[in-house]
Structure formats: structure tokens, C-alpha cells
Amino acid sequence: MSIKDYFLLPDHKILEESKLELEKKTKELFCVMDGGRCSFRQKNNGTGCSFCSLNQLNDKSRTPDFWESIISLDHVNELVNEYQPESLVLSVNGSIFGPEFNQEALFVGLKKILENPCLQEIIFETRMEWLNEDLLVSLSNSIPESIKIGFNVGLEIFDNDARKATSKQVKLKDIERTYFLIDKLLANRGLLTFYMLFKPFPHKMRCFEDGFPTWDITRSENDILQALEYLISLGSSKSEISIWINFTFPSRGTIIEDWWNNGVWTPPSKEEVCELFRKIKLFNLDKIKVRPGIAKETLPCSERSGVYKEGLVESEGDDFIGKEEYEMLYNFILTQDYSCFF
């Protein structure tokens, strides 16, 4: 299996181009559908999460109507039928259960998608405030019992003060409420994944002020490890809990791009990634699954960083996780074998 078995599907308008890059057998299908402007961004006076490039790429002021949303879901169904994934992730620009997507269409389209026998789990990307008892009961009643129901939510940074600087506005009490609600209503069918950023802040002093802290690599490591310790403490014998570690990259139009262009930040190196996972291995991981996030990116970056191609940066002189490192991380996703980091 190659790294192409794991990918990020862009907007269905460029679906045909993307399909040429995909292999016939895919373990996980990650679909980003058309949606309206992020509701959190609108509520937060036009300020979205600091590292989210979707703020710039998708700026629709209205939610797609029923039939527009059905068209997006029909494209997803075509891909599920063609590539037969075991896991399907549904995402929009923001929260799929928020006003960004037509909710009536979501449940109608899901019914058709779930007729495919290949699916073992379906996962929704959302902010936690949209998850409530009525929604979870509706999902449980609409999705066959043989299919697990998961939710990907963004924690990003564990340190509370640092997280506030990114406009994320997630509190630990939100995490606990969400996890125990899922555990109560979905039990063994429930999956909850938290996105975390590795090296989210500059590691060199800056000559400009932007309100963000300066973190060295040790502080970045400790933030991931503290989050892991906390999430392990929540784990029960029923719903699955996991942490998805995203290796920060300079998406176009974000503050990270500015830091890279100013020479105060670099993406994580292979050595830094290996050291982080060697430390993660020391934890009791029976109650939690750890995943590195290695998606095929389609977003162009700054002139200095070149452009992303198959999850890799094509550039000269800049340090980024390259092909060898991505293959290493992909193999870890498949095997959960930590020996590759030693």
C-alpha cells in the first residue's frame, strides 16, 4: 500500500482531476464538501481559527440549499461506490452539523451512502457545540448498528492560554461533556478524535507583534504529551477516543505563512517527529489511539514554500517532512508499530 491510499478529497468541482490521482482501493475516504461560511467565524466577528486556510478558500455567505447539498453527497456516494473505503469522513468549511450545510439533505444523502456494505465507520467533522443528545439519537437511529459513528473535533493546542490566542475557544469542560455524552448514547459505536497541532508557534523571537507566544520544540512536545495524558484519563471501556497529530504547515493566507516567510518558524523535521513518538510510546496507550495526520494537500502555499503535491512540499532549502518521512508515518497508521521511530 502506498501513501496514495490516504488522501484529502477537494471540492467536487475539481473531482475529475482528483479521481485521476486516486487508487482503486482506499482504506479511508476524506471528503470536504461545499458548505457555507464557517458559522464560528461569523459568530466570532469574522475571525476564524488562526491556522485554517479554509477561511480564505471558501467564503460563501450562504448555506447551500437542499439540492446543492444533495449534489455534494451524491458525489461522495459515487466515490464510496468506486473506491470501497472502510471509513468515510465527511467535512465542510466549518461544522457539518452547523448552518454551513443543509441538515435535511445530510440525513437524506446519508441513507443512500450507507447502503454500501464496505463502510465500517462514518465520521463527521464538527465543532463540539453542535453535538447534543437529540442529534446523537437521530444519528444512532439513522445509521445501521454495524457501522461506528465518529466525530473529529479540533482541540489543536492543549495549553489554555495559548489556545485562546488562536481564536479556537474550546474549553476542557466542552471536551468532557462531549465525550461522556457520546459514551452514554453511542457506547461501543462511538468514536471521538481530537486534532492536535505539532509545532504550532514560532520558535524564534520575532521583530513583529501578533499576539502569539513563542514556543521551542520542548514546549511543543510537552503540549501534545499533556493532551495525551488528559485524554487517556477520560477513556472508558466503551467509546473509542483518539488523538490525531497534525504536523503544522504554512497554508496560504494564514499567520503560519507569515512566520515562515519571516524566518521565525519551520515545519517539524523527521528527527523532531521521531522524538515526539518515542515519548508517546512511554504512555499507556490501551485506552487511546494515536494517529499522525498525513493527508494529501491540494492547497498552494507561499512563493517561498513552493506548492504542496501529494502531501509534500516542493521547495529548495526549506525543512519539511518529505517522502521518506511520510511513508514512515503512513506505515505507522497501518501498523501502530512504534519501532519505526527508533
State pLDDT tens for residues 60-111: 566 778 998 898 899 889 888 888 888 888 988 678 998 888 999 999 999 9
Contact 183, 224 (CB under 8 A): no
Report how far residue 168's alpha carbon sits from residue 165's, in angstroms, rounded to the nearest whole number.
Answer: 8
pLDDT digits (tens, 9 = 90+) for 310-329: 333 333 333 345 566 667 77
Residue 16: which residues within 8 A CB-CB, separation 6 or more? Answer: none
Give burial (CB, 10 Å; 0-12/13-18/19+) of 45. Answer: exposed
pTM, two decimal places: 0.80
Q: Over the stretch 174-210, which tens digit does the pLDDT of each residue have?
A: 889 999 999 999 988 999 989 888 988 998 888 887 8
DSSP 8-state code for residue 252 = T
Architecture of the domain whose range is 3-341: Alpha-Beta Barrel (3.20)
d(CA 291, CA 209): 33
DSSP classification of residue 21: T
For residue 69, the SS3 value is helix
Nearest to 169 by CA among 128, 207, 199, 141: 128
Give the H/E segment covering residue 340. Answer: none
